[in-house]
A and B are shown apart, each in its own frame.
Chain A
Amino acid sequence: MENRDNIIEEQIKNSNEKIPEALRPENIERKIAAMSPEELNRRAGSVDIPDQTVSSGTYGGGSGLESAGEMSGINSGMGSGKKNHKKPSVAKIVIPIILAACLLLVCGIGIGLGVGRHRIDEIQSDTEADKNDKTNVTVEKIDGENDTAESDKNKDKDKDKEKDDSEKSGLFGSKYKNYDLAYDNMLAYKKYLKNQVNYDYVTDDVVEYAEEAEEVGATYSKNEATASATGADDATPEYTDTNVRTEGVSEADIIKTDGRYIYEYDSYTEHLYFYSVDDGKITKEGSVNVLDDDQTFSEMYIYNDKLILMGNISEDAASNYSYYSYYYPSNNKTTIDIYDISDKGEPKLIDSYTQSGWYDSSRMVDGILYTFSYKNFDTEELKKKKYETYIPEVDGKLIDDEDIIVQKDTCNTTYVVVTALDVDKEEFTDKMAILGGSDTLYVSANNIYLTDRSYNWNDYTYKDETKIVRISYDDGEMEYEANGTFPGYLNDDYSIDEYDGYIRLVTSYTDGSFNRYNGLYIYDMDLSKVSVIKNLAEDETIRSARFMGKTGYFVTFRNTDPLFAVDLSDPENPKITDYLKIPGFSAYLHPYGDGKLLGIGYDTDEWGFTNCLKLSMFDISDPYDIKEEDTKVLYDYQDGSVLGDRNAFMFNDKDGTFGFSAYAYGYSYIEEDWFKETYEDQYDDIIENADLNKEGGYYIVFDYDERKGFTKLMDEELGEDGLYADIYSTRGIVIGDYLYIVNSGMGISSYDTDNYKLVDECY
């Protein structure tokens, strides 16, 4: 597949278009030279030029700016550039306060000095608990104020104002400690941006790894682990609920059922459709326009007789394009709309809530909805007295000072806004906003983990370390507990897992000599490191992971699939017990009954080019001897919804059947030489096994039996013409004895699970 993609990419890239005369470089140069100062000025202010406060794709993540420039000056100035893993609980209260003072002080001095000050950047290495673990790299930068471009001079006035403001707060303090801290961070960041005219390139030796001998221990305490997550909700056995990361922690999805009604949102007609289902019979009950103008749908929940709809609303949509608006001064809000569906399933609005920023994700536990959004502020709008220019809001009210958390090394203008909403009591029970980004979110049964891969502002690359914050939650009350840093980065939220007072994670990282490795790390709840296994699987990266109690499994890949098993029963001393090399790789792992692990991924050739999907069943009953018990290559299919979105995986734990939507690209190139060459080894298998003319989106269901292996139960085209079916908007739900295939905007069809024959359709 990758190879086929390369060919078409090259074809498009080298397409020979006749470029208009006016765009020739010499003509453009003439035009540039002829621009009047007014035009230059006007164009410099164009809204289309990326806002510096939010990084562009090539600048790296929109989050995770840290310890660079101005900010590191501050950190090192107060001698707290080093991260303290040991005492995060103290850091929680004391450090922000000290920091507030130091920030103000240093900002003041910084501004006072004005020209030509030096900045020191301290970068701390991976914090091996033992020795030789610190690599302090000192970076000296000459401030480029002398060279600051013309346009910046216009802003001197503003600068003076800011100076006044920060001095005032520095001298007299304020009753809003965290507001001040947030403000000062943003101000410092703004100045940092302005000063980015000249800088030196510095390469950092970010992480120094001591070699550690890996020994496979001779003893193994019997694996008592059961699945740490299963596909269905035990409390409601009659239907398969959305497949989630953590058992008991519900996740929103684009399609939901309560066993009697199925809800799907059609973005084309912008209506929420609801259908009643009964033994395979589907009746369309109605459709409701659930959105205001400028509101967009994201996903939903069903909880008791309520439907909770998560969305976004943009108040100034005229100038905000739907998916680029992230880069505009963000006035976007996350919306939470609660509907009563007790009357024949018909949604009736009872309550609406909003919180600042783009909807990112949410979880629901015991009737409490936890909602995560990203709120970015434009530093150009920053005004000390106008809190709304730098403090996020919930339901139009500023989040309280005590609920604002500014991380000590944050150099960022994006908050993660988190709220807890009691759906029964119809009120927010808690809210908080953490200044600092987040990319992978993981929610365990008691804790929320925000992780954020660090970005290095010295050489504009992602660092090989990730920041992590732990927030505990209990019945709607949230508490900021600890923060820390771990080496490498996470593949997704299956790569991190909390179990019995420990946090285990697998990451991919690059060592000082640019070799790629993977590691397993165990931390305690204060995010202090307990143990580590490093230097695993050189040159490969982690593609999937699954922790199941006292055992963990993860897959690394370059051109074969080593599935590693690791014994975690002694957190101080984790052991790799076995690994298995097979062709291809699994991108999603799901526990399958006792002692088995289902892997869904890709079949690849010896060079690692992916060809088509593959199912593997691993026997993991003996962690010292894991085996691939059966494998099935799905020659027809090249893409599967489950590989991008776990919510798209249907697992019926009543009978062990599972399903997902998959896409067949067809083999229209089967006769071409490049294809024959690339897939030389698999060519005969493809000819023999693949339906060469099959193209489009399909829903497939399998069963597994130890003796018979994988059995395909169903393979049905999606909709009337599957060619343009969106497999990622498709869900399979088993209710009673019937499987319902629901596609957002394309209706529902039902199948009898006895024979997988079509029973009913409703479009």
Chain B
Amino acid sequence: MDDKERMAGLVRQAKNGDAHSFALLYEMIYADLYRAALYMLNNPEDAENIVGDTVLDAYAGITKLRDETAFRGWIFRILSNKCKRMMKEYISRRENQTTVSMDELSETVPDNRIGVQSAENKTVAEQAFSILSDEEKGIVALIIYGEYDSGEVAEQMNMNRNTVRSKYSRALSKMRDFIGSLS
């Protein structure tokens, strides 16, 4: 039995309210969920919260998952929706920074930098992700961790398939160059 079939079986049981089956499903993907969130947001605390939030939403809404074999794609959709909102919030915070005083800033804006590890503590992958644009982060995270193909990303992001392919390829190349420059 391959992963997909196993997942489908677990999804069916989870739909009947079996929390343990759901936890087993979660176990199969949580590392990828966390990595995707961490790299998209560049903030471990937010990533942790968002993964937690995603999983609870997914459990509560599992009956909405029509295709039982598509659990991974489905939960990544929830995750990326949440990440997207968070990224949007980061942007508006960043924009507000120009108008608020530094005092206010430190009190009211839990800036990206707060809670972010110093570069030495970061894995190479996390550092490599940090040089990408938000859009590129989304594309790479969905393809690598969500196991989406470029057509699926294109559909989700309302982009041209070829654009996704080229952006993905360019993002990988940026990361490759970056990793190359570290060593």
A residues adjacent to B (C-beta < 8 A): 1, 4-5, 8-9, 11-13, 15-17, 19-20, 22-23, 25-26, 28-29, 31-33, 35, 39-50, 52, 56-59, 61-62, 147, 149, 151-152, 193, 196-198, 321, 323-327, 358, 460, 639, 643-645, 663, 665-666, 668-669, 695, 727-728
Contact A31 B56 (CB under 8 A): yes
Q: Are the CB atoms of B77 and A152 closer together than 8 Å? A: no
Q: Which residues of chain B come closer than 8 Å to A644, judged between CB atoms?
A: 160, 162-163, 165-166
Contact B61 A46 (CB under 8 A): yes
Which of chain B's residues have a CB closer than 8 A to the CB of A151?
63
Stretch at the interface among B19-27, B95-103, B106-114: B19-27
New A-B pairs, 11, CB < 8 Å, besides A5-B169, A639-B169: A25-B26, A25-B27, A28-B30, A29-B22, A32-B55, A50-B77, A52-B66, A56-B156, A57-B152, A321-B84, A327-B77
Q: Which residues of chain A have C-beta atoms less than 8 A from B34's C-beta?
A: 17, 19-20, 23
| B148, A43: Cβ atoms closer than 8 Å | no
Whether, in the assembled complex, B6 has its beta carbon less than 8 Å from a beta carbon of chain A, the answer is: no
Let me know if B156 and A22 touch, CB within 8 A.
Answer: no
Q: Please pick, from A43, A58, A321, A460, the residue contacting B152 in the complex, using a CB distance under 8 A.
A: A58
Complex contact B81–A324 (CB within 8 A): yes
Most chain A beta-carbon contacts within 10 A, residue among B19, B31, B57, B173: B173
Specify which chain B residues have a CB less than 8 angstroms from the CB of A4 in the assembled complex.
172, 176
Report B137-166 CB contacts with A as 1/0, cut-off 8 Å.
000101011001101110111111011011
Contact B162 A460 (CB under 8 A): no
Q: Which of B23, B61, B64, B160 contacts A32 (CB 8 A)?
A: B23
Write 12 A-B pairs (CB below 8 A) sorted by A numbering. A8-B175, A20-B34, A22-B52, A23-B52, A48-B54, A49-B78, A56-B70, A327-B156, A639-B169, A644-B160, A668-B177, A669-B176
Shortest CB distance A14–B (Å): 9
Decide if B73 touches A28 in the complex (CB within 8 Å): no
Are the C-beta atoms of B159 and A22 separated by less than 8 Å?
no
**B22 — which chain A residues lie within 8 A by C-beta?**
29, 32
**A57→B163 contact, CB < 8 A:** no
Q: Which residue of A lies closest to B59 (CB)?
A: A32
Query: Which of chain A's residues has its CB closest to B5's CB?
Result: A201
Does residue B125 face the partner (Cβ distance < 8 Å to A)? yes
Instruction: State whether A57 touches B63 (Cβ < 8 A).
Output: no
Q: Which residue of A lies closest to B162 (CB)?
A: A644
- Complex Cα distance, B144 from A20, in Å, reads 21
A45 to B57, CA, bound (A): 8
Contact in complex: B156, A460 (CB < 8 Å): no
Q: How far is the CA of A703 from the CA of B78 in the complex (A)?
A: 51
| Given A15-B35, A321-B84, residue A23 in contact with residue B61 (CB < 8 A) | no
Partner of A323, one of B24, B54, B73, B157: B157
State whether the Cβ of B38 lies closer than 8 Å to any Cβ in chain A: yes
On whether the beta carbons of B144 and A9 are closer than 8 Å, the reply is yes
Of B63, B156, B158, B160, the residue contacting A149 (CB under 8 A) is B63
Q: Which residues of B contact A (CB under 8 A)?
A: 12, 15-16, 19-20, 22-24, 26-27, 30-31, 34-35, 38, 44, 48, 51-52, 54-61, 63-64, 66-67, 69-70, 72-74, 77-78, 80-82, 84-85, 88, 123-126, 128-129, 135, 140, 142, 144-145, 148-149, 151-153, 155-160, 162-163, 165-166, 169-170, 172-173, 175-177, 179-180
Residues of A with C-beta under 8 A to B77: 48, 50, 56-57, 327
Question: Nearest chain A CB to B68's CB is how many angstroms away?
Answer: 9
Residue numbers in B under 8 Å from A49 (CB-CB): 57-58, 61, 64, 78
- Measured CB to CB, the nearest residue on chain B to A360 is B158
Q: Given A32-B56, A43-B57, A13 and B30 touching (CB < 8 A)?
A: no
Given contacts A20-B48, A59-B70, contact A43 B180 (CB under 8 A): no
Taking A11-B124, A50-B77, A57-B77 as contacts, is the C-beta distance between A324 and B157 under 8 angstroms? yes
Given contacts A25-B26, A639-B169, contact A197 B15 (CB under 8 A): yes
C-alpha gap A147/B34 in the complex (Å): 32
| Contact partners of A26 in chain B: CB under 8 A | 23
B108 CB, min distance to chain A CBs, angstroms: 20
Nearest B residue to A492, CB-CB: B162
Q: What is the CA–CA distance of A567 and B82 in the complex, to the nearest angstrom?
A: 54
Contact A326 B166 (CB under 8 A): no
Closest A residue, CB atoms, query B44: A20
Contact A57 B124 (CB under 8 A): no
B73→A46 contact, CB < 8 A: no
B-side contacts of A193, CB under 8 Å: 66
Given A12-B140, A17-B31, A35-B56, A645 contacting B162 (CB threshold 8 A): yes
- Contact between chains at B125 and A12 (CB < 8 Å): yes
Report chain B residues within 8 Å CB of A460. Answer: 67, 69-70
Complex Cα distance, B153 from A39, in Å, reads 31
User: A44 and B61: CB pair below 8 A?
Assistant: yes
Q: Is the CB of B124 within 8 A of A15?
A: yes
Give Cα A669–Cα B129 distance, bound, in whole angstroms. 20
Partner pick for B148 among A22, A48, A57, A326, CB 8 A cutoff: A57
* Complex alpha-carbon distance, A643 and B55, angstroms: 40
Q: Nearest chain A CB to B32's CB is how many angstroms away?
A: 8
- In the complex, what's the smallest C-beta–C-beta distance from A600 to chain B, in angstroms? 14
The answer to whether A19 and B31 touch across the interface, beta carbons within 8 angstroms, is: yes
List the 5 closest pairs (A to B, CB-CB), nearest first: A57-B152, A58-B73, A15-B125, A644-B162, A43-B60
Provide the bound-state CA to CA distance between A25 and B21, in Å: 11
Q: Do B74 and A58 have beta carbons less than 8 Å apart? A: yes
Query: B15 CB to closest chain A CB, in angstroms?
Result: 7
- Most A Cβ at <10 Å: residue of B126, B128, B156: B156
Q: Are B60 and A46 in contact (CB under 8 A)?
A: yes
Shortest CB distance A304–B (Å):
29
Please name the residue on chain A nearest to B168 by beta carbon: A5
If A23-B48, A31-B56, A50-B64 touch, does A639 touch B176 (CB 8 Å cutoff)? no
Shortest beta-carbon distance, A144 to chain B, in Å? 10
Nearest Cβ on chain A to B152's Cβ, whole angstroms: 3
Neighbouring B residues of A358 by C-beta, 8 Å: 158
Bound complex: CA of A728 vs CA of B167, how far in Å? 10
B30 touches A25 (CB 8 A): yes
Alpha-carbon distance A460/B7, docked complex (angstroms): 15
The answer on a CB contact under 8 Å between B84 and A324 is: yes
What is the CB-to-nearest-CB distance from B125 to chain A, in angstroms, rounded to a whole number? 3
CA distance A20 to B33 in the complex (A): 12
Nearest Cβ on chain B to A489's Cβ, whole angstroms: 11
Whole-angstrom CA separation of A11 from B180 in the bound complex: 12
Cross-interface CB contact of B60 among A40, A59, A62, A668, cutoff 8 Å: A40
**CB <8 Å contact, A56 and B123:** no
**Which residues of A sit under 8 angstroms from B148, Cβ to Cβ?**
57-58
Q: Which residue of A lies closest to B174 (CB)?
A: A724
- Measured CB to CB, the nearest residue on chain B to A16 is B123
**Residue of A with least CB distance to B51:** A23
Chain A residues near B26 (CB-CB < 8 A): 25, 28-29
A43 touching B56 in the complex, CB below 8 Å, given contacts A25-B30, A58-B70: yes
With the chains together, A723 CA to B72 CA distance in Å?
35
Contact B153 A57 (CB under 8 A): yes
Question: Complex formed: what's the CA distance from A472 to B134 in Å?
Answer: 42
Residue of B80, B123, B179 touching A17 (CB-CB under 8 A):
B123
